[in-house]
Structure 1
Amino acid sequence: MNIDITRLYFGKAAAEREVPSNPDRFWRTYLDRWNLSEQVLEHEKFLILGPKGSGKSAAAYYVELDWKRRFGDEAVFFSIVDFDELNRTQSPLTSIDKKLVSDQVSTLTDAAWKLFLGVRLLDSLIGDNSCSLSRDPKILQFVSELRKAGLASDDYPQVLRRVRERKGGVKIPYASYDVTSKDSELVSPGQLGDAIIDLIASAKTPNRHLLAIDGLDKAIGDNDAYWRTLAALIRVGDKVTRKFLITGNRNVYLMIMCRSDVFRRVDFADAPKIAADSGIHMDWGAELQDFREVLLWDYLARKAEIDRDQLLNLLPTYVRVGDDRPITTPKYILDFTRYTPRDITELFRALQSRANVYRSLTGEQVRAAADSFAKNHLLHEIKSESVGLLPGEATKRLEQVLSCLPSRVFDKGDLTQALVEADLTGKIPLSEFGEYLFLQGAIGNYRADRGYVQFYHRRNTAQFDRRGPWILHTGLTYALNLPFS
């Protein structure tokens, strides 16, 4: 079969745009290498971790669509809170300061998240006509009172303020099927979250309700209160998920998507344990030595709805670089990415724009596409990913710093001088800047006797050699037009 690469579909850069355009195709062409659908269904996992572009948002949409095909469209209720898309009447998480969040009031921050998540899930259950709660007038009245008191707001900072005020209380009704002598009990704002989670855990419905929390990696703030708020969300997400697991609840589920380098800044005792026990790390296998075996080829082939070998056969065998040295094309292409679906998708879309209809790709076309990808996508991504993780001045001048490097291979003195030339002396420690570049896959440790260096997002800086020398990512070297030696 003669396959034309210009006619193939390789997905879009963001699931938020891909899913609405053709949900059936998205579900059909999704590569579920982590068995996401089943692990979330069994309450085994709730936390989706990975670098930017690894497919975290897509994971939530896939679980929704997969469940609808398993249980029926009417049997799945899906809602998503995207903190990057709040309307103008709501406060971003970055607006939270130390007056609202500190060590002394961490329990109130947790209580506010329980309330915020609980209300979202309660709203979903009330909208389900098959749910016991939707038929209870006391529950409907209770939700109405929550809204009047400002405790059911879509604005988390507002909910946190109400909880911190500790004023008044709301009567939470016992469900009509509970055996009790009371019809209701007055509960303080700080206790409401726990009471609502208990109420949700006791609800009866044949349907599934999934709440997804996204946009945390875009709402980054350069303040300690933000990180404490995010830590509280992860803590509460773990407690709520375990609550549903222990009670045998098969109706209500939670998913939280968080960038791995953002999660690294979330500092609380149980964070590593939660990531290990309840997290899925979206890692696409950068360590494999055989470049044809990297799972990104399976990902692309699934999107294009062709076989993996058919996809690889569309590429020329070699690309010639420098002194006419041949490099196998799969290796050459992967060297320009940081092993994420978004990177490989954007690069193949660049390839399509340079390919001729029903003509084989040439090495020159591959080189031109890779160069365009590096300049128009990779450099921008690495800079945008630094927002909130580096000081503002360092983010603004990141490209300038890299442009000041003398060559692709550089040492500690070269990086120090580049920071001086970008006027960043004293504004960011050299070690912090180097660690960031290492985590983002922008640089790697360089040892001339060890041969090839692979570039990909890392989960931590344990392997980072702070002494140097280092080597710059292939794509960045091309994008900034730096000497290779």
Structure 2
Amino acid sequence: MIDFKKVYFGCADADTEAERNPQTFKKVFFDPHNYMEELISGDRYILRGRKGDGKTAFSAQIKLTASENGFYSYQRSLNNFNNTTFAKIKTYDNLGGNPYISFWKCVLLIECVRMIYKYEPHIQTPEYVDIVDALSKSGFLATDNDIAITVTRLVEADSALNIKSVFQHNRKYAHDVELRGAEEIYTAIKNSIKDIYLPRKFILIIDGLDDILNNTEFKAEIITGLIRAVDEINRVFKKTTLSIKTIILIRDDILNLCRDPNLSKISRDSGIRLSWAIDGNPYDSDLIQLVCKRIDEVAGYQNSFQNVWKEIFPETIRNKSTLDYVLDNIIYRPRDILQFFIEIQKEFVLGKKLTSEKIETALARYSDEYFVDAMRDELTGFFSDDVVTKLPDILIKMGTRYFYLSEFENECSHYPEFEGIPCRILLEKLFVAGYIGQHRPRERMDYTVFSYRNPREKFQEDHECILHRGLTRALTL
């Protein structure tokens, strides 16, 4: 029997895990479909999935392995981003159909220059030197800046930049000019860097889009503009001497808010969707193989999960396979199953098999300390903080695992925090995220669906809702 407590199941946040234990993280990182290769060298650049599906793990692995694989990576987060900044842009008339596309193109190329300057500070191409000098004087290249500061500075400058003319072929006649408008600045930067030869590729990673939701001025067009800008930049730099690629990490529920005539084509042609659905034998699923990868490090051999599971866990709980029983109490996501195993480690004693009581204790702690907070995190930004905070109390007050939309609406009507809140939209969001399921009526027998098990299912407002077992346990219903 292995010492199960020695298995490293990581942290709730992949960036934290990669920072604390980089070598272990690189070893146990699991990429069953070779998405890393596609993100780095292929045409796809949108990594999408539910919250907790592992998008940040991919970006962390890209950063950790960049040097050994011969490329540079640079991650920029939209944390601390304020949507109201865009309202101050005075050059809307020159920004095209979506007023954010040109602006984002400008911001992203400024970030690309920052990335190039960070890793290759000695480039002496005259046009590039002029751009770096102008951006530095305007405060764009300060090392402690985040991308939100870049946006703010560009807005404050009214999309203007004083620079020596990068269009003059004869440097003798170069003169100072003021570039005005995001598109003009973008074009100038693009022209100054596109023909630079550097042997390594540059990967710019954009994440933290969750934070954009946390603002009353949120507009889906802002995200749409960012995606369109990245698409254009990737197309341009795929054909230039300098190799740059931008990758976006985005939640499905945020991407689904975006509307654009070309977005569905972009998402289909350039997106990778992470999915951990279990079809057939759970031991063969990607989700269990992800756990297996971590156990292999301690067990000393590959595909160790099934043997270790049989050594440590009882065969059944409540007349059901123990593995199936555990899977019924989580959502099929890497973060969820790894957090469950962290709780199991607290109950493990070397040389002793776990009892069903210890597993129930671990599941109760998992539900109390992780599951409810994970639900709140998933709703944050889509609904007010008061609604998100109060929701578990309402579910408890209803006193049942099974309910209809009308019953939920009736209970919510007693709370001022829910005034004006569309309860149908709230339940649909909970269904898509996996925190509730629904009963589907059939002539022979009703059946229950959850979106993480049945991705094609849609919320039906006239069907009975059922709380996930993780919620039921946490709310003691």
Amino acid at match of 1:476: L
- SS in structure 2 of the partner of residue 280 of structure 1: strand
How many angstroms apart in 2 are the aligned matches of 1:106 and 1:403? 50
Amino acid at match of 1:456: Y
Amino acid at match of 1:453: V
Moved more, 206-215 or 250-259: 250-259
Name the counterpart of 2:267: 275
- SS in structure 2 of the partner of residue 12 of structure 1: coil
| Identical columns (%) | 22
How many angstroms apart in 1 are the aligned matches of 2:15 and 2:119? 25
Cα distance 1:387–1:304, how it changes in 2: closer, same or farther (>3 A)? Answer: same
Name the counterpart of 2:124: 135
Which blocks of at least 5 consecutive residues in structure 2 are unaligned?
none
User: Does 1:240 pair with 2:233?
Assistant: yes
CA deviations over 1:114-134 (Å, ceiling 9, x no partner): 1221122112223444x8x81
Amino acid at match of 1:42: S
How many angstroms apart in 2 are the aligned matches of 1:101 and 1:223? 21
Deviation at 1:262, TM superposition (A): 1.4
How many residues matched? 459
Name the counterpart of 1:345: 338
The answer to whether the 8 A contact 1:419-1:425 is kept is yes
Deviation at 1:52, TM superposition (A): 1.3
Cα distance 1:43–1:194, how it changes in 2: closer, same or farther (>3 A)? Answer: farther
Deviation at 1:273, TM superposition (A): 1.8
Amino acid at match of 2:129: L
Deviation at 1:344, TM superposition (A): 0.7
Name the counterpart of 2:180: 188
The answer to whether the 8 A contact 1:34-1:280 is kept is no
Name the counterpart of 2:449: 453
Amino acid at match of 2:452: Y
CA deviations over 1:361-412 (Å, ceiling 9, x no partner): 2211111111110111010110122111123432221212222233112112
How many angstroms apart in 1 are the aligned matches of 2:455 and 2:109? 31
Cα distance 1:151–1:171, how it changes in 2: closer, same or farther (>3 A)? Answer: farther
Name the counterpart of 2:356: 363
Deviation at 1:300, TM superposition (A): 0.8
Aligned pair partner of 2:247 in 231, 252, 255: 255
Name the counterpart of 1:147: 136
Cα distance 1:369–1:279, how it changes in 2: closer, same or farther (>3 A)? Answer: same
Name the counterpart of 2:475: 480
Aligned pair partner of 1:433 in 411, 426, 440: 426
Name the counterpart of 2:106: 115
CA deviations over 1:126-157 (Å, ceiling 9, x no partner): 3444x8x8122542332221233356574144
Give TM-score, length-normalised by structure 1.
0.85
Deviation at 1:471, TM superposition (A): 1.0
The answer to whether the 8 A contact 1:439-1:457 is kept is no
Cα distance 1:291–1:34, how it changes in 2: closer, same or farther (>3 A)? Answer: closer
How many angstroms apart in 1 are the aligned matches of 2:426 and 2:398? 14
Amino acid at match of 2:32: R
Moved more, 166-175 or 337-346: 166-175
How many angstroms apart in 1 are the aligned matches of 2:332 and 2:94? 40
- SS in structure 2 of the partner of residue 192 of structure 1: helix
Moved more, 262-271 or 335-344: 262-271
Name the counterpart of 1:46: 45
Cα distance 1:268–1:31, how it changes in 2: closer, same or farther (>3 A)? Answer: same
How many angstroms apart in 2 are the aligned matches of 1:120 and 1:243? 16
Deviation at 1:19, TM superposition (A): 1.0
The answer to whether the 8 A contact 2:367-2:473 is kept is yes
CA deviations over 1:208-234 (Å, ceiling 9, x no partner): 222111111134234454422222111
Which blocks of at least 5 consecutive residues in structure 1 are unaligned?
87-91
How many angstroms apart in 2 are the aligned matches of 1:211 and 1:168? 23
The answer to whether the 8 A contact 2:140-2:153 is kept is yes
How many angstroms apart in 2 are the aligned matches of 1:40 and 1:103? 33
How many angstroms apart in 1 are the aligned matches of 2:277 and 2:38? 20
Name the counterpart of 2:33: 34
How many angstroms apart in 2 are the aligned matches of 1:198 and 1:137? 12
Deviation at 1:189, TM superposition (A): 3.6
Amino acid at match of 1:471: I
How many angstroms apart in 2 are the aligned matches of 1:249 and 1:15? 34
For residues 259-408 of structure 1, the aligned pairs below 5 Å read 259-286=251-278, 288-305=279-296, 306=299, 307=303, 308-320=305-317, 325-408=318-401
Amino acid at match of 1:297: I
- SS in structure 2 of the partner of residue 284 of structure 1: coil
CA deviations over 1:171-216 (Å, ceiling 9, x no partner): 35369xx899975794334211133234333221111222111111
Cα distance 1:317–1:285, how it changes in 2: closer, same or farther (>3 A)? Answer: same
How many angstroms apart in 2 are the aligned matches of 1:237 and 1:412? 40
How many angstroms apart in 2 are the aligned matches of 1:220 and 1:26? 30
How many angstroms apart in 2 are the aligned matches of 1:467 and 1:387? 26
Amino acid at match of 1:406: G
Deviation at 1:256, TM superposition (A): 1.1
For residues 57-206 of structure 1, the aligned pairs below 5 Å read 57-71=56-70, 76-84=71-79, 86=80, 92-96=81-85, 98-100=87-89, 107=96, 108-129=99-120, 134-149=123-138, 154=146, 155-162=149-156, 165-167=158-160, 169-173=162-166, 186=177, 187-190=179-182, 191-206=184-199
How many angstroms apart in 2 are the aligned matches of 1:402 and 1:7? 38
How many angstroms apart in 2 are the aligned matches of 1:451 and 1:315? 33
- SS in structure 2 of the partner of residue 68 of structure 1: coil
The answer to whether the 8 A contact 1:9-1:303 is kept is yes
- SS in structure 2 of the partner of residue 397 of structure 1: helix
Deviation at 1:168, TM superposition (A): 6.3
